[in-house]
Amino acid sequence: MPQRTVSAAETELIQKAHQYMPGGSLGNIGKDIVISEGSAGRVRDASGNEYVDYLLGSGPMLIGHAHPEVIEAAREQLDKGTTFFANNDKAILLAEEIVRSVACADKVRFTSSGTEATFYALRTARAYRRRDKILKFEGGYHGMHDYALMSMSPADPHDFPRPTPDSPGIPRSIQDEVLIAPFNDLETAAAIIEAHHDELGAVIVEPFQRLLPPQPGFLQGLREVTAQYGVPLIFDEVVTGFRFAYGGAQEFYGVEPDLCSLGKVMAGGFPLAAIAGKDELMTHFDAASTESDAFMPQIGTLSGNPIAAAAGIKTLEILRREGAYERIFATGQRLKDELQRMLDEAELPAKVIGEAPLFDVFFTENDVTDYRSTLLADKPMLARFNELLLARGILKGDSKFYISLAHTADDIQRTLDAFASAIDELKR
């Protein structure tokens, strides 16, 4: 098996990481690897090893690393100032483009992270509804705030709709304000909403949950039942926004929520996220347009940062160019199809799940449609597969292949060769 060469310099950095940071990491992926640079669809570690990159910074780098036009846009803004804590032209123009492209967006508020965006989206919906409870879906990821960390990845899930906290330090009272439903089970979700609609301030869902596409009719049914009871529906599009289509998952799946959160792709690799939604909800951010007891303050030192907004404007311009999404989808679909074919030919029980721009393999014979079915997959086998790919120059997270516009034919061939070699070793 190929081995990654680790230099003395990278070894020293890894040792310092373990000395100065909990777990020796930033809290993201736990691999002992130090990335020093990235260009287009590849990255290099501090030892000089090069990888085809399907981690893509956990998704933001949809057009590739260090895109020269994005770098130039950011550099131009750097010369003009880095942050102002006031309106700036770049943030205003980015907000205009979001409203133009995202179906549910009448107004936009910026934050610095997706966690903030989903947190404020939930608060906005609760302010509008004057109700405290929220409903989220088991296995759904909405960042790192207390509400999001209910039944995100429970090892021993409770009966629905009772939540399971995923972290210590969360007040017990939060558990009383969160209801949990199974993704892709419209009957159960609708029944919970119907039973608790008088208490619900919001329903939040990833329209594409982690790696799980919605079953036909699921999002449409969720839209119908929330609209029936006047409960705001929030799509967490931090991952899917501008990735599945220029208008996000709401365009791709044809379902329009009341609010959405955006991030990752929108900021071109810089720290920027947003809440976008209907006027009647977003007005709670405006002290001049709402009653004093309904006004919802939202302050962030770097919210709408002009450097990040400049990078975002240029990134979205590149994605609007002819053929951009066709290329992303063609790349992802080829890798998906070939990976499934190789696994089938090797007679390894496995299913490649997701959409072309974002997918992974589950080592299981069972259908994978919700969080509990993912628990039946062979996770040690996936971890082994990831290790084998890393040794062959393919970088990905613990789960997910993120596809970029910058991946070349050579990147694809190198990946397919790595798939074949890694699968051959998995069979032994």
Catalytically active residues, by annotation: 141, 236, 264
CA-closest candidate to residue 112, choices 120, 102, 103, 122:
120
Residue 267 has a CB neighbour count (10 Å cut-off) of 27
| DSSP assignments along 152-215, one per residue | SS-SSPPSTT---B-STT--HHHHTTEEEE-TT-HHHHHHHHHHHTTTEEEEEE-SSBTTBPPP
Cβ proximity of 278 and 103 under 8 Å: no
Alpha-carbon separation of residue 15 from 18, 32, 45, 397 (angstroms): 5, 9, 15, 21
Q: Coil, strand or helix: which one is 110?
A: strand
Q: Tokens 């289509």 map to which residue?
A: 245
N-terminal to C-terminal alpha carbon distance within the chain: 12
Cβ proximity of 273 and 114 under 8 Å: yes
Region of 59 (left: φ > 0; alpha: ψ -120 to 50; beta: rest) is: left
CA-closest candidate to residue 43, choices 412, 413, 420, 411:
411
Alpha-carbon separation of residue 18 from 4, 31, 32, 49, 397 (angstroms): 20, 12, 10, 21, 20
Residue 336 has a CB neighbour count (10 Å cut-off) of 21
Cβ proximity of 107 and 277 under 8 Å: yes
